[in-house]
């Protein structure tokens, strides 16, 4: 099952419908998540869409982490330790952290990441993963 998840979440070489739908869904999620950056006023709708898209990005990150051994072509448990330090994983994490810090103000470390709300722009970089033409 993890092998199939890996085939879906990575850009497929062949015409895999599930992979194409997943890529399209993630591109739409990215566009929706950066849409509030185009407005000066912060509407409550944007707050809720930010929560939903961040949840989607967290699930995507966890799926990628769970299939890290396939991605890194290393069957050892060390691949799960190496994956969070790969460039794409860092971009994913940096794009997720500002919203998590805004949702939970109890942790002092997470308050630090409120300063980095501008890192939401990193979500644009996520689009490079899902688009073959980019």
φ, ψ (nearest 5 deg) of residue 36: -60, -20
Instruction: Note down pLDDT in tens along the chain; length 134 residues.
Output: 888 898 888 866 667 888 888 988 988 988 888 887 778 777 888 888 888 988 999 999 999 999 998 888 888 889 899 999 998 888 888 778 777 765 555 555 555 555 555 566 666 667 666 665 55
Pick the CATH number of 2-130 from 1.10.3470, 1.20.120, 1.10.20, 1.10.10: 1.20.120
Q: How far apart are the first and last CA of the chain?
A: 29
Q: What is the pTM of this model?
A: 0.75
């Amino acid at each position: 099952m993890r092998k199939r998840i890996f085939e879906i979440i990575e850009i497929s070489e062949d015409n895999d419908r599930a992979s194409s739908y997943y890529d399209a869904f993630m591109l739409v999620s990215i566009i929706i998540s950066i849409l509030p950056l185009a407005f000066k006023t912060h509407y409550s709708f944007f707050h809720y869409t930010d929560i939903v898209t961040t949840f989607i990005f967290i699930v995507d990150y966890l799926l990628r982490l769970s299939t890290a051994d396939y991605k890194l072509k290393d069957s050892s448990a060390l691949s799960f330790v190496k994956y969070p330090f790969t460039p794409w994983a860092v971009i994913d994490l940096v794009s997720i952290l500002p919203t998590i810090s805004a949702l939970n103000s109890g942790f002092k470390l997470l308050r630090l990441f409120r300063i980095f709300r501008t890192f939401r722009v990193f979500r644009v970089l996520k689009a490079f993963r899902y688009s073959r033409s980019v």
